[in-house]
Structure 1
Amino acid sequence: MLLERDHGRLQGLLVRQHLLAIAREMLAEVGPEQLTMDALAERSGLGKGTVFRRFGTRTGIFAALLDEAERGFQEDVLGGPPPLGPGAPPMERLAAYGEARMRFLMDNRGVARAALAGRQPQPGGSLPTSLSHTHIRMLLGLIDLGPADLGLLTLQLTAALDDPLLRYLSTTEVDHATAQITDTLAKGWRDLVRRVCRP
């Protein structure tokens, strides 16, 4: 019985990986607008019910794609070269993290935008932020900030990082000035970190 259940889970995982690979191909070929439940089912040769069971909704497809890309970003944060990865002073890592997070989301804005579809951007709540929150809190704990409330400061910095990104990810105007907007946001984040963490 257990072996049969494990086989079923493995089969489900393989189907999901197959669907995500097809979804990535479709994104590269036709863009996010054409990636629908029906189109993914047809292209993959699987039934729409199978796609629905794996992702629930069209938004679920994009959330899964973003989550997959997120794993690579997390690897860079946890084990990549400094200053994003370990080895740099915490304040420098905090500044590098915010900038890298902005660039990651801007580079994946089509998928992120579709993953947010139908959800109202709420401060610090609509975009998955567990990595941001955890990482920022860990880095703040390594900086001598005196009697600061690190929990509250973590929430405030996480919101300061996510809110502007949510604003820009929700509009197509960013597509015409991505580099300029990203550079402006990164500069603002670095300035904020310097001011908040000033000795």
Structure 2
Amino acid sequence: MDDKILETTRELIDEVGYPALTVDQVAARAGVGKAAIYRRYTSKAEMAFAATMYEQELPPLAGTGSLHGDLLGLLRAFHIRMAGPAARQLAPALIGEIAVNPGLEARFQDTFLAAEQAIFADIIEQAVARRELAGTVDPAMAHLVALGTLASALYIMRLPVDDRVLTDLATAATAGITALADRRHGPGGAAEPH
């Protein structure tokens, strides 16, 4: 049933666009009740976001052997998800709903963002093990530095993002994450509390 709901949502977004999409349409075409949809998703925006941006597994850890390489691989994978026409319609709508719906904010934090931040935690852990970083960095901050800039470029500034831009973002994120680790763990830095 989950797959049918998401598939139907994608089809309808392609046909009518996100603004005209309704949960009633999805329920009718998927052959499920609205209650079945609302047990899975708190809103139209969350359902559409899941269908268009998170319908597949998150990208695996790149494992390139360098912090920059891993961040670049991750940015490339997320760019594919985030740059499509549906994602460009949905992300601002979801952000608007999150701003007024504390339940949706908590759900989004606990699902989508937690999964993404787990990837950053793995990347940071490997970079520390390779001695590229002086110590750990909060995965939420690394997430903000890397994917926050990509989201801003795509959804707020509406910039054309190509591989050159992704490489520049990875370089900036690498420098920022390295600086954060040095600040917390380097000579004279205050180690993070355990």
- What range is the shorter-chain TM-score in? 0.5 to 0.7
Q: Number of paired residues?
A: 164
TM-score (norm 2): 0.64
Mapping 1:93-132, distance limit 5 Å: 93-107=70-84, 108-120=87-99, 128=113, 129-132=116-119
Residue matched to 1:189: 170
Aligned mates of 1:168, 1:191 — CA distance in 2 = 14
**Bigger CA drift: 22-31 or 158-167?**
158-167
8 Å CA contact 1:19–1:44 kept in 2: the answer is yes
Q: Would the alpha carbon gap of residues 46 and 155 (structure 1) be closer, same or farther in structure 2, given more than 3 Å must change? A: closer
Unaligned stretches of 5+ residues in structure 2 = 100-104, 180-194
Give RMSD over aligned pairs. 3.3
Mapping 1:71-86, distance limit 5 Å: 71=57, 73-74=58-59, 77-78=60-61, 85-86=62-63
Give 3-state SS (helix, strand or coil) of 1:161's partner. Answer: helix
8 Å CA contact 2:83–2:154 kept in 1: the answer is yes
Aligned mates of 2:121, 2:177 — CA distance in 1 = 18
Match of 2:55 among 68, 71, 78: 68
Q: Would the alpha carbon gap of residues 24 and 192 (structure 1) be closer, same or farther in structure 2, given more than 3 Å must change? A: closer
TM-score (norm 1): 0.63
Give 3-state SS (helix, strand or coil) of 2:50's partner. Answer: helix
Q: Structure 1 residue 136 and structure 2 residue 123: aligned?
A: yes
Q: Would the alpha carbon gap of residues 20 and 130 (structure 1) be closer, same or farther in structure 2, given more than 3 Å must change? A: same
Unaligned stretches of 5+ residues in structure 1 = 1-14, 79-84
Residue matched to 2:24: 38
Residue matched to 2:189: none
Q: For each residue in 1:140-184, what CA deviation from the matched residue of structure 2 results, as whole angstroms up to 9, or x when unmatched? A: 2233136x23134x443222113223434554x62xx4336x753
